[in-house]
Amino acid sequence: MQTKGKHRLIDIRHLTDSTYVLQMERNGLQFDAGQHILLGAAGDLNQREYSIYSGNRDEYLEVLIKEVDDGDVSKKLKNITIGDYLQVEGPLGYFRLDTKLVPDKKFLFISSGTGIAPFHSMVKSHPELDYTVLHGVRYGYEGYERSHYDKNRYIQCTSGDETGHFHGRVTDYLKAHPIDNSTICYFCGNFKMIREAMDILEKKGIPHHQLHAEVYF
Amino acid sequence: MNEPKTVAFKTLGCRLNLYETDALAAEFVRKNYKIVDFGEPADLYVINTCTVTNQSDQKSRREINVAHKANAHGVTIVTGCMATNYKEQLEKNEAIDYVVDNQHKTSVLAVAEAHFNGELVDINHFDANLFNYSPADTTFHTRSLIKIQDGCDNFCTFCIIPKVRGRATSRPPEDIFENIKTVIAYGYKEIVLTGVNLGRYQHGAYDFERLTEEILEIPGDFRVRISSIEPDGYSESFFRLFNHPKLTPHLHICLQSGSEEILLKMRRMYTARFFKDMAIKLQQMHPGFNLTTDIIVGFPGETDDQFGETLEMMKTIGFGHVHTFKYSVRKGTRAERMEGQVASHEKTQRSEEVRKLADEMKLSFRTSFIGKTQRVLVEKIRDDGTASGYGEHYVPVVIREHGLTANTFYDVMIEDILAGDEPTLTGTRVVETN
Ligand SMILES: Cc1cc2nc3c(=O)[nH]c(=O)nc-3n(C[C@H](O)[C@H](O)[C@H](O)COP(=O)(O)OP(=O)(O)OC[C@H]3O[C@@H](n4cnc5c(N)ncnc54)[C@H](O)[C@@H]3O)c2cc1C
């Protein structure tokens, strides 16, 4: 059931200089992990889509946002004060797990930057999930709340330094490693990464109905 | 007795708008209004606008001027998607009396009545309801359009529809069944299921497949057509429904681009590969199936090679008809903020290339019907006494015989094709079925 309303900001966690988590009241909003909301400061006509970062059993609602240099909403939301209201509409979208497959299948989550957000929600919402998260960032310090993932299931790919588990892009990682053809693969982030990653996996023989993408930009 | 008031309607854009105008017009007739042609002097003008491209905005504005010229003292109500998108701007236009957004479109008659009664009209005091249209007994068409769904949650980066039509909402199945039974009782022989994103129909346990399946089981001599549909939201098992004699073998599935990269940038919910496999499967399951599509050329960043991929895809699939759109920036969409906007002359050239190829494919597809039969629903008797209508594949047919009756099915042997912009099949009756 979709709702549209004002949610009070409870907390803001600054994970890096530019990336932060907004924690707000949930107000009963029901969602499937992977879905997104439309979000803006209350009273501001400009809203943007943000994947829900929190799990579907959490009492609050969270989003993970990167402040973009020439951006509008991502900048404004960074400066919002605790106690202020946010305009929230949702949940929206069809990027979600086929829960029938959760008990028996392996899931590979391929993300760049804040594209890890929906996977954070999926992992938190389905503790039984057999997953691996591939997280592509420039530098190791961008492993946003990596302790929230099982350390054997989180693989950070850093292209700008060698502090990650793998030095290079997620696409380099995918090329260099075998992937079981029955794996269900989800992609989230910028379209270039998704395009290349999908291509690599298709060439490795993963049927395209097992590939699911959420494009941020 | 007072002379009945006259009302003129103009509809721009999609089938959903056609449906909504039909339903509104029928309500006005029931209230004793007389419908006159648009452009003639009338007491009231209702313009149901579209805003999907810049061109639609321009056309909508032109029609508002046409109404104003025809009778500057008439009341003009502007509704539909442009009215929703540019509400405040239009409210300042002195040629317009009322701007009624999509949420309040069902209240157009009530707004008009309140106005003629001399009441002060505040649109927001009327009910906001997307489906509260009563079935139309007489419409501007032979087919009865049935609205089953409104709005869209896909948020494709080029598209303004989620802003103006709102979130995806499905009409309760019982209302739909009731509506269909009523229009069949009125004598309609073809119903067209209409909505913004039909494949995402979901109401309780009903998805689009189950809904369609049950509609096909409604008794009566009628056929069912599905209007434009997105490629996502239903599974392949849906295609088996086309074995049912009542479901016409035609689907308009929007491809938009044959380039994987452009589809991702558009945030479409499928890949080019998926679309191709699905189309081929459908054509194999139902030979001769009429698959038609929409294509957008000149999306931001579209290179020559990516455009070439679209042309290749068209050739591989062989569409029966292609509706080409030159990409136009819609304010507030994600694509508006993208780099690499394509020059206008380039878009025009690409759209011309698509059109040429599409015309060739259309002629070849339609020619393939020669020597086969089509069940034609006659829509009108032409001036020369012959009859015209559409076969089940949604291809226009002229039956070269006299004395036939409109709104009747005839099985026709296709003998020839009349070339032209809209290649039309011609033939003679095999057996009279009615
Ligand atoms: C379904 C969906 C879910 C999304 N979820 C998230 C999310 O969980 N977290 C998030 O940070 N963003 C997310 N985004 C992107 C988000 O909606 C905004 O576009 C982003 O926050 C920038 O907004 P803005 O108004 O500041 O600038 P905009 O004018 O929207 O964007 C300016 C430019 O910034 C770049 N950009 C956009 N998003 C990002 C990003 N995340 N990282 C780096 N560069 C970017 C693009 O090149 C874009 O053209 C999502 C987008 C979609 C479509």
What is the tens place of the pLDDT at every residue in B252-263? 999 999 999 999
Probe site for chain B from A186, A195, A199 (most B CB atoms < 10 A): A195
pLDDT level of residue B434 (50, 70, 90 thresholds) = low
Name the average pLDDT for chain B: 95
- Provide the ipTM: 0.94
What gap in Å lies between CA B215 and CA B154, rounded to an integer?
Answer: 26
Would you list which residues of chain A are within 8 Å, Cβ to Cβ, of chain B?
2, 49, 89, 92-94, 191-192, 194-195, 198-199, 202, 208-209, 211, 213, 215, 217
Q: Is A49 near ligand 1, meaning CB less than 6 Å away?
A: yes
State residue B431's pLDDT score. Answer: 65
- Average pLDDT, integer, range B41-63: 96
Q: Do A195 and B264 touch (CB under 8 A)?
A: yes
Question: B414 with B427: CB under 8 angstroms?
Answer: yes
State residue B1's pLDDT score. Answer: 59
What is the CA(A217)–ligand 1 centre distance, in A? 6
pLDDT level of residue B27 (50, 70, 90 thresholds) = very high
Q: Is A64 near ligand 1, meaning CB less than 6 Å away?
A: yes
> Tokens 């004699």, residue?
B245
pLDDT by residue, tens only, chain A of 217 residues: 888 999 999 999 999 999 999 999 999 999 999 999 999 999 998 999 999 999 999 999 999 999 999 999 999 999 999 999 999 999 999 999 999 999 999 999 999 999 999 999 999 999 999 999 999 999 999 999 999 999 999 999 999 999 999 999 999 999 999 999 999 999 999 999 999 999 999 999 999 899 999 999 9
Burial of B329 (0-12, 13-18, 19+ CB in 10 A): middle
What gap in Å lies between CA A173 and CA A97, rounded to an integer?
Answer: 24
- Average pLDDT, integer, range B310-326: 98
Query: What are the pLDDT digits (tens) for B153-192?
Result: 999 999 999 999 999 999 999 999 999 999 999 999 999 9
Whether the per-residue pLDDT at B433 is higher than 70: the answer is no
- Report the candidate in A66, A118, A113 with the shortest Cα–Cα distance to residue A95: A118
* Nearest Cβ partner for B264 among A208, A209, A213: A213
Nearest CA in chain A to B269: A213
State residue B51's pLDDT score. Answer: 96
Question: B297 with B325: CB under 8 angstroms?
Answer: yes
State residue B71's pLDDT score. Answer: 96
Question: B73 with B35: CB under 8 angstroms?
Answer: no
As a three-state string, the secondary structure of B226-269 is ECCECCCCCCHHHHHHHHCCCECCEEEECCECCCHHHHHHCCCC
Q: Is A51 near ligand 1, meaning CB less than 6 Å away?
A: yes
Question: B406 with B413: CB under 8 angstroms?
Answer: no
∠ CA(A67), CA(A70), CA(A75), 5° rounding? 35
Read off the tokens for B401.
Answer: 């015989």
Alpha-carbon torsion B216, B220, B221, B224, what sign?
A: negative
Q: Do B264 and A217 touch (CB under 8 A)?
A: no
What gap in Å lies between CA B292 and CA A202, rounded to an integer?
Answer: 28
Read off the tokens for A8.
Answer: 């009070």
Query: What are the pLDDT digits (tens) for A77-90?
Result: 999 999 999 999 99
Read off the tokens for B148.
Answer: 């089953």
Whether the per-residue pLDDT at B21 is higher than 90: the answer is yes
State residue B348's pLDDT score. Answer: 98
- In chain B, what residues touch A2 (CB-CB under 8 Å)? 167
Whether the per-residue pLDDT at B2 is higher than 80: the answer is no
Pairing of strands A211-215, B6-11: unpaired
Query: What are the pLDDT digits (tens) for B218-245?
Result: 999 999 999 899 998 888 899 999 999 9
Q: Do A93 and B153 touch (CB under 8 A)?
A: yes
Question: A215 with B265: CB under 8 angstroms?
Answer: yes
Residue B264 in contact with partner chain A when CB distance is under 8 A: yes
State residue B95's pLDDT score. Answer: 95
Look up residue B38 and give its DSSP letter: B
Indicate left, alpha or beta for B373 from its phi (over 0: left) and psi (-120 to 50: alpha).
beta
What is the CA(A46)–ligand 1 centre distance, in A? 13
- Average pLDDT, integer, range B138-144: 84
Strands (E), B314-384: 321-326, 373-381
